[in-house]
Structure 1
Amino acid sequence: MDTSPGPSVRSAADLLAVLAAALLVLVAVLVGRHLQDTYRVLFVHWPPLFADWDPHVGPGTPAAVLVAGAVAAYGPNLAVRLPWRGLLGAAWGACLAWTWSLALVDGWQRGVAGRLTSPNEYLTVVSRFHDIPATLRDFTHHIVSGTPAPWPAHIAGHPPAATLTFVLLDRVGLGGGGWAGAWCITVGSTACVAVLVAVRALADERLARRAAPFLVMAPAAVWVGASADGYFAAVAAWTVALLALAVTGRSVAWAAGAGLLYGLTCYLSYGLTLFALIGAAVLVLGRRRVRARPVVLALLAAGAAVVPLVFTLAGFDWWQGYRLLVTRYYQGVGGTRPYGYWVWANLACTVVITGPATAAGLRRSGAVLVHRRTAPVAQRRLAFLVGAALLALLLADLSGMSKAETERIWLPFAMWLLPACAFLPRPRAWLAAQALLGLLLNHLLFTGW
């Protein structure tokens, strides 16, 4: 006899999950406002987000509203009917349209071209990389505050592959904030395609198709356009996607590509080493479907060694860089921001970038894991993958190295929570809620970084 809860009970539980998530955000706002106004220890103007209250409209507003309405109204049907490759192309195109239109709500200069040219951003140091090998050898000498010519915050806070990306763009004639912003939006928007590829390979195509509109209509697009973390999210997402293809029998050669991208991911952001947990989940899900497991592991390891080897031979010590970053972090606002607030307020930021639909989807994903013996296999596999991403995010939270600004920093992890929305019924209503949140965020706040 089926003892699982009925549809009305599950829907009520979904709404309770959304209300709990909304309450978390509300408490983070109220407590954060009190702490900032009274003690000035949060260093954000609109806690828990690094943002300013700034109601406005802009040139991207009509397009953003149009894209939101179109995806909410037609996205679920198109996701079912389009050929698979057509769906991937349509998802990327729609994600590009959504992200660009949101960025342009703030105008070209403020929303795109000026994002990566502010004093703490990557483009401010491009000229210091005129001799790339020498700069890499000298990179760790400028991480800690008080050293000669210390790096600005973002450069000091990341391994040099992050900055080097924009240096190389400049070298090929794509210099300046406009090209840098376009790069982050264009590459960052491919993350939705990578997640779809992985979900299809590891779970099934039906769940991937159901997740597609939610990956497009993520409130996280507010920060993908245009921050370098959107670009990091795409590199990390394709790492997982290629590994998923390798372990599900498409071709073991994809494992080398996954390893190569994982190595790059670790040299874009120290914290994204935690993607090893998501990679491990992929290996677990593929353990019964790959025939050449030792070959996959060997190619994965070989690929993962390439980027670290190149940077090490060039003179950059990743471990030394990370140790010095910890010192730099506690020299600045990271040493003042209270862990006791941010350890839970960071999760409120995650609610904001993933939206109410993801809160309900995570509840359903948890229910699948609890009732895994009776749940369909594909649902169990998707829930396991989402659970691994959530675990990686929680470990990042507990580390204390991401106090505030996680609406941007945790974009790579957030992308893997969104597929939980595939479990939801009545997708149009949930998509409308996601779209409304994204529009409100971008029109009521001016987000930093």
Structure 2
Amino acid sequence: MLLFAAVAAIGAYLQRDSPVLRSPWPPLEAWWGPHAGPGTPAALVVAAAVVGYGPGFAARLPSRALPWAVWGAAMAWTWSLALVDGWQRGVAGRLTDSGEYLRGVGRFEDDGVGATLRDFTRHILLHSPDHWGTHIAGHPAGAVLTFVGLDRIGLGGGVWGAVFCITTGGSAAAAAVVTLRLLAGAETARRAAPFLALAPGAVWTGVSADGYFAGVAAWSLALLAIAVTRRPSATAPRTSAAAAAFGCGLLLGAAAYLSYGLVLLVIPVLVLLVCARTMRPLPYVVLGAAVVVAAFSAAGFDWWQAYGLLRTRYFEGYGGIRPYAYWFWGDLGTVVAAAGLASVAGLRRTLAGAPVALRGLRHAWRRGSGADPASGRATAAVLLPCALLLAMLAADLSGMSKAETERIWLPFTLWLPATAALLPRRDHRGWLAAQAVTALLVNHLLLTGW
């Protein structure tokens, strides 16, 4: 709370005479504007239900039903928060604003997908003819191609785009539950489930494409968890683990072509493999990612060239103006808002347990005991959140993340509420209430950019 208050106060001080930080209400991309809307009663009901009954319900629910319940609760929470801003501003109009993805769909229709993709990099720089809008230029071609695909199957426009982003973004919580159950045990997954469902990051999941990116990233890790924990048997042959690893690679490759920053998923992927004490899935993961890279390259999109041009455009615009010294800390302040106070409390316990987990993991590798997920549950529960935190720090240090990280870092921050599973069970309802209050205050006091 002190960190967020400090960066907010310093941001207000720095902008007292001019908008030097290029953000309306630093550290968040938002405007001060207390308001309520049709989603307000629903948000209060969802929050009260999860705080009051979530922990007990998660403890009793069958393991197979838990991810579905968390997905449903996360979607209800996201929808209600989005509707606080009203139907048009909160849902239907979000992805049709200037600079958003849907503004560029028509160019793929006019010139053809193949020709537009081959010509994609020529329109990234600001001074280039017919340059792309902010979001299309700032992401690989896979991001806008998703909405082109939705349009081709009859799901075009802002409403269907919003439905797609909220649905896939909500599934990130379910994927996290699946991953935790496999790697850290059913008890940890049950304790984390209400926090994942009630994440404050839902304010930005509904509606931004980064919620969709978060869903893809989360399911890539879930598939890898399946691959490293599945044992060959008559009903689950070794090929099923290979198929899960290959699917993980496909989603990792897709994530890299949705957002340049998601190449940092390599950090939690490697940590997950180390925690499971096996590298057997790695060749299949690499093969799956290579398929995606080959497909885009054959279609004419050069990821490295596009990223180099994006760096130029980034520093031509606000990226070259926003001061790094402020936004290094300001970005971390947005994590407090998007992950919530329970995540901060959980991360304290996670970081405190990291040295012990690392020592135990080192001894296990020395013993050569193989991939025994049961013996590595505590290790995975501690080190996987640390890996996600490390990915965010890498993004922060890069200088390519200045502001708007409450949205951009959703693939990482939506995982952090799971660390609240380490908090004492008797305190869970209080911490859940803190999560809900954070989201409700942000959504009702500020008009967020997403």
For normalisation by structure 1, the TM-score amounts to 0.92
> SS of the residue aligned with 2:31?
strand
> Which 5+ residue runs of structure 1 have no aligned equivalent?
1-21
> How far, CA to CA, are the matches of 2:409 and 2:311 in structure 1?
18
> SS of the residue aligned with 2:257?
helix
> SS of the residue aligned with 2:27?
coil
Cα deviation for residue 35 of structure 1 reads 1.4
> How far, CA to CA, are the matches of 2:141 and 2:354 in structure 1?
39
> How far, CA to CA, are the matches of 2:30 and 2:162 in structure 1?
19
Residue of structure 2 equivalent to 1:430: 431
- For residue 198 of structure 1, the aligned residue among 179, 186, 194 is 179
Residue of structure 1 equivalent to 2:271: 281
Residue of structure 2 equivalent to 1:272: 262
Tell me the amino acid that sits aligned with residue 182 of structure 2: A
**What does the per-residue CA deviation read over 1:389-446, in whole Å, with 9 as the maximum and x for residues that have no partner?**
1101100000010100000000001122221111011100000110011111111111
> How far, CA to CA, are the matches of 2:356 and 2:217 in structure 1?
30
> SS of the residue aligned with 1:253?
helix
Cα deviation for residue 374 of structure 1 reads 8.8
The 5 Å alignment of 1:61-140 reads: 61-130=40-109, 131-140=112-121
The 5 Å alignment of 1:20-419 reads: 22-130=1-109, 131-249=112-230, 251-288=241-278, 293-294=279-280, 296-372=281-357, 377-419=376-418
Cα deviation for residue 380 of structure 1 reads 2.7
> SS of the residue aligned with 1:155?
helix
Say whether residues 1:444 and 2:445 are aligned partners: yes
> SS of the residue aligned with 1:52?
strand
> How far, CA to CA, are the matches of 1:273 and 1:297 in structure 2?
16
**What does the per-residue CA deviation read over 1:201-240, in whole Å, with 9 as the maximum and x for residues that have no partner?**
1111110110000000110000000100000000001011
Tell me the amino acid that sits aligned with residue 440 of structure 1: L
Deviates more, 1:220-229 or 1:36-45: 36-45
> How far, CA to CA, are the matches of 2:307 and 2:360 in structure 1?
45
> SS of the residue aligned with 1:246?
helix
Cα deviation for residue 378 of structure 1 reads 2.5
> How far, CA to CA, are the matches of 1:217 and 1:129 in structure 2?
37
Cα deviation for residue 377 of structure 1 reads 4.9
> SS of the residue aligned with 1:446?
strand
Tell me the amino acid that sits aligned with residue 91 of structure 1: V
Alignment length (residue pairs): 423
> SS of the residue aligned with 2:161?
helix
Tell me the amino acid that sits aligned with residue 314 of structure 2: Y
- Contact 1:185–1:224 (8 Å) recurs in 2: yes
- Contact 2:226–2:244 (8 Å) recurs in 1: yes
- Contact 2:248–2:288 (8 Å) recurs in 1: yes
Tell me the amino acid that sits aligned with residue 272 of structure 2: V
Cα deviation for residue 249 of structure 1 reads 1.9
Percent identity between the aligned chains? 57
**What does the per-residue CA deviation read over 1:110-161, in whole Å, with 9 as the maximum and x for residues that have no partner?**
0011100011100011100020000000000000010000001100000011
> How far, CA to CA, are the matches of 1:79 and 1:252 in structure 2?
31
Name the Cα RMSD after superposition. Answer: 1.3
Cα deviation for residue 38 of structure 1 reads 2.6
Tell me the amino acid that sits aligned with residue 349 of structure 2: R
> How far, CA to CA, are the matches of 1:200 and 1:431 in structure 2?
20
> How far, CA to CA, are the matches of 1:396 and 1:269 in structure 2?
12
Cα deviation for residue 327 of structure 1 reads 0.2
Tell me the amino acid that sits aligned with residue 92 of structure 1: W
> How far, CA to CA, are the matches of 1:89 and 1:354 in structure 2?
21
Cα deviation for residue 303 of structure 1 reads 0.7
Cα deviation for residue 298 of structure 1 reads 2.1
Residue of structure 2 equivalent to 1:4: none
Cα deviation for residue 252 of structure 1 reads 2.8
> How far, CA to CA, are the matches of 1:381 and 1:242 in structure 2?
15
Tell me the amino acid that sits aligned with residue 432 of structure 1: A
- Contact 2:169–2:212 (8 Å) recurs in 1: yes
Tell me the amino acid that sits aligned with residue 413 of structure 2: A
> SS of the residue aligned with 2:177?
helix
> How far, CA to CA, are the matches of 1:76 and 1:252 in structure 2?
35
Deviates more, 1:317-326 or 1:365-374: 365-374
**What does the per-residue CA deviation read over 1:281-321, in whole Å, with 9 as the maximum and x for residues that have no partner?**
11111225xxxx44x22211111111111110011100000
> How far, CA to CA, are the matches of 2:27 and 2:304 in structure 1?
30
> SS of the residue aligned with 2:119?
helix
- Contact 1:368–1:379 (8 Å) recurs in 2: no
- Contact 1:41–1:336 (8 Å) recurs in 2: yes
Cα deviation for residue 43 of structure 1 reads 1.3
